[in-house]
Structure 1
Amino acid sequence: MSGMFDLGGRVALVTGGNGGIGLGLARGMARCGAAVMVAGRNAAKNAAAVAELSALGARAEAVEADVTDPDSVAAMVARTVERLGRLDILVNNAGTNIRRRPEEYRLEDWRTVLDTNLTSAMLAARAAYPHLKAGGHGRVINIGSMLSIFGLPFHIAYGASKGGIVQMTRSLAVAWAPDGITVNALLPGWIDTELTRKAREDMPALNANVLARTPMGRWGDPRDFEGIAAFLASDAAAFVTGTAIPVDGGFSVQG
């Protein structure tokens, strides 16, 4: 691999990287030569992801981590550097959702969603910072959502967490630009994953509604994230920071 998208010699850590969008992001960087550490709670899914990335010719390993626990996050970053020698790219992709109307929302569920989706990204970025700075071309990619832009009635905590991801991205971009670190967010639309398949079971009209509103006329696929991951992680995006890029087939611009 050569050229401006070459990630040879660089190391990426992807939280929630053992399936769905996270694995798509990991594949994109692996295809360009990066070594990848997959962080997830499910050992079997971690192993399957490592096998898939290794089959692409990448060096890949996995670490079990609880991204809501500061000690576990610190250990995750330390493990990455210990096993792969450095850390250049952090992808904050781990997330969850608990769907309930606002007036029925429980405080413990609010805290679970905010801790998993937003606080975890801050903890990982904070732990990764010295390594990203030392490498000279640090990259942080935070995963927001189309709900960073607009709201849905059953997603109060999820929407708040993903809106927070965008503002955190902007603050980190400004704070760390002098250190040569870029920080950007991706805003996925309706992507075909295990979580959205469950949503389609719960909401029978969802599939038709998504297809009707998406200009490209289909659900997204985790493979749709391979190219944008490679771009943002590479030298080609050295002057791109503080952005929030929708990856949604035009869903968010359709009136």
Structure 2
Amino acid sequence: MHTDRVYVVTGGTRGIGAAIAQGLRDDGARVCVLARQPDPAEGVAVDLADPSSVPAAFERVLDRWGRIDGLVNNAGISKVGPSLDYDLADFARILDVNVTSLFACSQAAAKAMAAQGGGSIVSIASMTSFTGQPERAAYIASKHAVLGLTRALANDWGPHGIRVNAVSPGYIRTDLTTDLIARGVLDVDAIEGRMPLRRFGQPSDVVGAVKFLLSAEAGYTTGQALVVDGGWTVNGYFK
């Protein structure tokens, strides 16, 4: 499906991003990982907390890989804390990584795609793009913004043959969530009991959604958010 395509995956060195990058490689694609410390053989180093560094990073991508068929905006950060005392510098840094750099990456990739005649951009949003949670003001604001950008850029770049979509994951089994479960921060029984599918997601659930939106099978789909959350956001009932 993706043979000989070139895909850029931000934050692709761990967690869901690493799973996405490997899943695309398994399909025969060439994958460039953008991260602070990627394997030099597989990526380009960039600090997405500094959005001004993004254009030069994409120049290096094009110099080395020659083209960009798809971009997966996966990089994101968060910090939990009461909003009455939330540090403004932390708030700004989260928005820089999750929103401003996401736009900068999308813009840089879209310029290359427009010159090639088209491409596909998929951003990793969140089920909290549709909801709220306590003590995550910056993260949730940023993930709402990701959906707004997805819809805006789909309008702007559709005439260039560029599709822009999002995947909104829920609770996914990663090293981070496994650690939170082990420390008692997440209650697995309570979470799974509320989900219609009664299970945490696996990285493969997100990978499959991303692959679909990148592929020709989604060729008439743009400006959409594919929610991969086991039904969490459609269940308004609390036992």
Fold-level similarity (TM above 0.5): yes
Aligned residue number for residue 147 of structure 2: 166
The one-letter amino acid paired with 1:66 is D
Indicate if the aligned counterparts of 1:183 and 1:242 stay in contact, CA closer than 8 A. yes
Displacement of 1:201 after TM fit?
A: 5.2
Whether the 8 Å contact between 1:23 and 1:222 is mirrored in structure 2 is no
Alpha-carbon deviation of 1:75?
Answer: 2.3
Whole-angstrom distance in 2 between the partners of 1:9 and 1:69: 31
Q: Does 1:33 align with 2:28?
A: yes
Which residue in 1 is equivalent to 2:75? Answer: 94
Residue 7 of structure 2 corresponds to 12
Residue of 164, 173, 178 corresponding to 2:159: 178
What is residue 229 of structure 1 aligned with on the other side?
Answer: 210
Q: Return the alpha-carbon distance in structure 2 between the equivalents of residues 11 and 205 of structure 1.
A: 37
Shifted more, 127-136 versus 200-209: the winner is 200-209
Give the letter aligned to residue 38 of structure 1: V
Matched with 1:24 is: 19
Match of 1:84 in 2: 65
Pairwise CA distance, 1:70 = 3.3
Q: Which runs of 5+ in 2 are unaligned?
A: none
Matched, 1:103 2:98: no
- Partner of 1:229, secondary structure, is helix
Segment of structure 1 superposing worse, 209-218 or 168-177: 209-218
Q: Does residue 88 of structure 2 align to residue 120 of structure 1?
A: no
Per the TM alignment, residue 196 of structure 1 is displaced from its structure 2 partner at its CA by 2.4
1:90 partner SS: strand
Match of 1:135 in 2: 116
Letter in 1 for 2:169: P
TM-score by length of 1: 0.87
Q: CA deviation at 1:38?
A: 0.9
Q: Larger RCO: Structure 1 or Structure 2 (Cα < 8 Å, ≥ 6 residues apart)? A: 1
Return the letter of the residue paired with 2:19: G
Give the Cα separation in 1 of the matches to 2:221 and 2:73.
18
> CA offset at residue 68 of structure 1?
2.6
When the two structures are aligned, how many residues end up with a matched partner? Answer: 236
Letter in 2 for 1:187: S
For 1:136 and 1:9, locate their aligned partners in 2 and report how far apart those are by CA, in whole Å: 16
| Alignment partner, residue 50 of structure 2 | 69
User: 2: CA distance between counterparts of 1:203 and 1:159?
Assistant: 23
Between 1:181-190 and 1:198-207, the stretch displaced more is 198-207
CA distance in 2 between partners of 1:66 and 1:152 (Å): 28
The structure-2 alpha-carbon separation of the partners of 1:70 and 1:96, relative to structure 1 and needing over 3 Å to count, comes to closer
Alignment counterpart, residue 251 of structure 1, candidates 232, 235, 238: 232
What is the match of residue 191 of structure 1?
A: 172
State the match for 1:145 in structure 2: 126
Given that 1:98 and 1:158 are in contact with CA atoms closer than 8 Å, whether structure 2 keeps it comes out as: yes
Equivalent residue letter for 1:16: G
Letter in 2 for 1:8: T
Structure 1 gaps, min length 5: 1-5, 51-59
